[in-house]
């Protein structure tokens, strides 16, 4: 997909010049880099090329902290790519479509429920990696535009990640800070979670799913998809289930994804070696994330922590909670939600549970505007790009900003009602 949102032909995972056209000159190719490539270049240039801003010991420490994250990113993307080749996502998409029995409202409810349940029970990153290809395959099989289904996945991967500590890494940090066990934490966040999902459903239906948008009342459900290699299909499905089981068992996500990807790699090495190519490794995404964390670490030394304190302000109550939620959402879209939450948590006084949880709502429900706002959004963007699906950046940013405001406000308002 090029920067204008147009699909490109892909061979071995890289864009190629269209048939009958002369190959692009280097300057033209540079101008047509994907938006994330530009951001990656800027971040890596600021954080690494201009070192000195971040002392060497802190650079080494930051890289050590993100290595498990990079392991998860690299292996889970390889797992998703090979699972798609094996036909697992096409099979699941067909079953989802048949369960709706030709009804678009029923399909909408099923997709929302599926995305919300996987996010709550597993975590938002797993939803982004494993559910996005299912939704894109569903759109392809039904002849629907892919964007409504794609946005259903990425929006709920973020906004449905409040209920349980395992749903989002930020939740684990917040639950520990306010000293809440999983059940009391879930009880406090149940109403905010319902509010953010309701806001998401409303915007999805009005903006993308209602009849005026799709033009028809019913669809014809496709027949069962038959995988080309049933053995590979079963191996890939086992790899996905292994990842899910590992996460539910509390295994570190990088180890769980590496084990699952390793199983599928062995299967493909034995039965379809041609599918194993260097382009499976998402090196652009890995470089981007590395640069992102180095830059955020640098910004923290030179005023980011002070800025967070100013944005949060000293006040509690309704205004303080709304400011905390808004600050979390704003900073997430600037620097990513994990460092945004950590920066906000460091500024808030101990014992201020309401503002801390409001900050959490902003960092979970608000990262919907920029592609790097959360790891789940990054992974979703990469899955769409790998599938050749156009994501119009202008519309994505505008709709995401609207939902970020609505979901954060709804979630914080519900939090205040719970006391």
Helix (H, G, I), strand (E, B) or coil at 163: coil
Q: Which of 359, 347, 293 is nearest to 323 (CA)?
A: 359
10 within domain boundaries: no
Helix (H, G, I), strand (E, B) or coil at 134: helix
391 within domain boundaries: yes
Which of 125-129, 145-149, 261-265, 305-309 holds the top average pLDDT?
Answer: 261-265
Q: What pLDDT sits at residue 36?
A: 59
Taking only the tens place, the pLDDT of each residue in 120-176 is 877 898 888 888 988 998 888 888 889 999 999 999 999 999 998 878 878 877 887
Q: Classify residue 357 by burial, with Cβ atoms within 10 Å: 0-12, 13-18, 19+.
A: buried
* pLDDT at 247 exceeding the cut of 80: no
* pLDDT at 234 exceeding the cut of 70: yes
Q: Give the C-alpha distances (Å, rounded to integers) separating 251 from 258, 276, 315, 371.
A: 11, 27, 39, 28
Contacts 24+ apart (CB under 8 A), 190-193: 190/163, 191/414, 191/415, 191/417, 191/418, 192/162, 192/357, 192/361, 192/410, 192/411, 192/412, 192/414, 192/415, 192/418, 193/120, 193/160, 193/162, 193/163, 193/411
* pLDDT at 31 exceeding the cut of 70: no
Q: Which residue has the tokens 């990054």?
A: 378
Query: 38: pLDDT confidence band, cut at 50, 70 and 90?
Result: low
57 within domain boundaries: no
374 within domain boundaries: yes
Q: What pLDDT sits at residue 1?
A: 38
Least-confidence region, from 236-245, 248-257, 346-355: 248-257
User: Once rounded to an integer, what is the mean pLDDT over residues 66-89?
Assistant: 85
Q: Which of 355, 346, 347, 353 is nearest to 324 (CA)?
A: 355
User: Once rounded to an integer, what is the mean pLDDT over residues 108-128?
Assistant: 88
User: Once rounded to an integer, what is the mean pLDDT over residues 208-217?
Assistant: 71
Contact predicate 358/312, CB 8 Å = no
Q: Residue count of the chain, please give it.
A: 419
* pLDDT at 262 exceeding the cut of 90: yes
Q: What pLDDT sits at residue 408?
A: 97
Q: Which residue has the tokens 């033209």?
A: 28
User: Once rounded to an integer, what is the mean pLDDT over residues 354-380?
Assistant: 93
User: Once rounded to an integer, what is the mean pLDDT over residues 296-313?
Assistant: 81
Taking only the tens place, the pLDDT of each residue in 215-232 is 667 887 777 888 889 999
406 within domain boundaries: yes
User: Once rounded to an integer, what is the mean pLDDT over residues 173-199?
Assistant: 89
Per-residue burial over 250-282, b if 16 or more Cβ lie within 10 Å, else e, is eeebbebbbbbbebbbebbeeebeeeeeeebbb
Q: What pLDDT sits at residue 149?
A: 93
Which of 52-66, 93-107, 265-279 holds the top average pLDDT?
Answer: 265-279
4 within domain boundaries: no
* pLDDT at 198 exceeding the cut of 80: yes
Q: Which residue has the higher pLDDT, 405 or 79?
A: 405
Mean pLDDT of the chain: 82
Per-residue burial over 223-236, b if 16 or more Cβ lie within 10 Å, else e, is eebebebeebbebb
Q: What pLDDT sits at residue 216?
A: 66
Q: Which residue has the higher pLDDT, 308 or 328?
A: 328
User: Once rounded to an integer, what is the mean pLDDT over residues 201-210?
Assistant: 92
* pLDDT at 104 exceeding the cut of 50: yes
333 within domain boundaries: yes
Q: What pLDDT sits at residue 215?
A: 60
* pLDDT at 304 exceeding the cut of 60: yes
Q: What pLDDT sits at residue 48?
A: 58
Q: What pLDDT sits at residue 94?
A: 83
Whole-number percent of the chain with pLDDT over 70: 86
Q: What pLDDT sits at residue 34?
A: 58
265 within domain boundaries: yes
CA distance 395 to 148: 12
The counts of H helices and E strands in the chain are 20, 2
Give the pTM: 0.76
Total of domains in the chain: 1
Q: What pLDDT sits at residue 11?
A: 32
Per-residue burial over 289-324, b if 16 or more Cβ lie within 10 Å, else e, is bbbbbbbbbbbbeeebeeebbebbeeeeeeebbbbb
Close Cβ partners of 278 (under 8 Å, ≥ 6 residues apart): none
Which of 221-230, 252-261, 399-408 holds the top average pLDDT?
Answer: 399-408
The residue segments making up the domain with residue 328 are: 68-213+225-417
Task: Give the rounded distance of the alpha carbon of 174 from its chain centre.
Answer: 20
Q: What pLDDT sits at residue 50?
A: 62
Which of 43-47, 65-69, 365-369 holds the top average pLDDT?
Answer: 365-369
* pLDDT at 248 exceeding the cut of 90: no
User: Once rounded to an integer, what is the mean pLDDT over residues 299-311?
Assistant: 81
Q: What pLDDT sits at residue 23?
A: 45
Q: Which residue has the tokens 């090196």?
A: 283
Q: What pLDDT sits at residue 30?
A: 40
* pLDDT at 73 exceeding the cut of 60: yes
Q: Give the C-alpha distances (Å, rounded to integers) separating 94 from 80, 209, 224.
A: 18, 19, 6
């Amino acid at each position: 997909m090029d920067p204008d949102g147009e699909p490109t032909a892909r061979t071995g995972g890289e864009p190629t010049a269209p048939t009958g056209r002369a190959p692009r000159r280097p300057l033209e190719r540079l101008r047509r880099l994907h938006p994330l490539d530009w951001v990656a270049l800027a971040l890596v240039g600021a954080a690494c090329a201009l070192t000195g801003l971040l002392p060497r010991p802190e650079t080494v420490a930051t890289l050590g902290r993100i290595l498990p994250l990079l392991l998860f990113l690299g292996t889970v993307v390889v797992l998703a790519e090979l699972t798609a080749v094996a036909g697992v996502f096409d099979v699941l998409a067909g079953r989802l479509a048949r369960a709706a029995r030709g009804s678009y409202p029923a399909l909408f409810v099923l997709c929302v429920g599926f995305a919300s349940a996987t996010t709550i029970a597993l975590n938002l990153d797993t939803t982004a990696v494993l559910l996005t290809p299912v939704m894109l395959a569903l759109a392809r099989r039904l002849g629907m535009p892919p964007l409504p289904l794609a946005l259903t996945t990425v929006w709920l991967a973020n906004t449905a990640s409040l209920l349980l500590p395992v749903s989002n890494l930020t939740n684990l940090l917040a639950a520990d800070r306010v000293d809440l066990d999983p059940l009391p934490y879930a009880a406090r966040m149940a109403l905010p979670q319902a509010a953010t999902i309701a806001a998401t459903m409303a915007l999805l239906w009005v903006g993308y799913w209602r009849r005026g948008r799709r033009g028809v009342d019913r669809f014809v459900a496709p027949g069962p998809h038959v995988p080309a290699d049933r053995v590979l299909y079963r191996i890939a499905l086992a790899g996905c289930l292994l990842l899910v089981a590992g996460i539910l068992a509390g295994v570190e996500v990088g180890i769980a994804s590496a084990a699952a990807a390793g199983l599928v790699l062995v299967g493909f090495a034995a039965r379809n070696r041609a599918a194993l190519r260097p382009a499976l490794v998402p090196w652009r995404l890995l470089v981007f994330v590395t640069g992102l964390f180095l830059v955020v670490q640098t910004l923290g030394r030179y005023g980011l922590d002070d800025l967070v304190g100013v944005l949060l302000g000293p006040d509690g109550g309704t205004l303080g909670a709304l400011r905390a939620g808004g600050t979390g959402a704003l900073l997430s879209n600037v620097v990513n939600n994990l460092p945004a939450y950590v920066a906000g948590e460091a500024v808030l006084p101990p014992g201020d549970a309401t503002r801390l949880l409001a900050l959490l709502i902003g960092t979970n429900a608000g990262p919907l505007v920029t592609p790097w706002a959360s790891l789940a959004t990054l992974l979703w963007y990469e899955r769409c790009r790998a599938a050749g699906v156009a994501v119009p950046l202008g519309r994505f940013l505008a709709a995401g900003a609207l939902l970020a405001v609505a979901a954060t406000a709804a979630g914080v308002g519900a939090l205040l009602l719970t006391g």
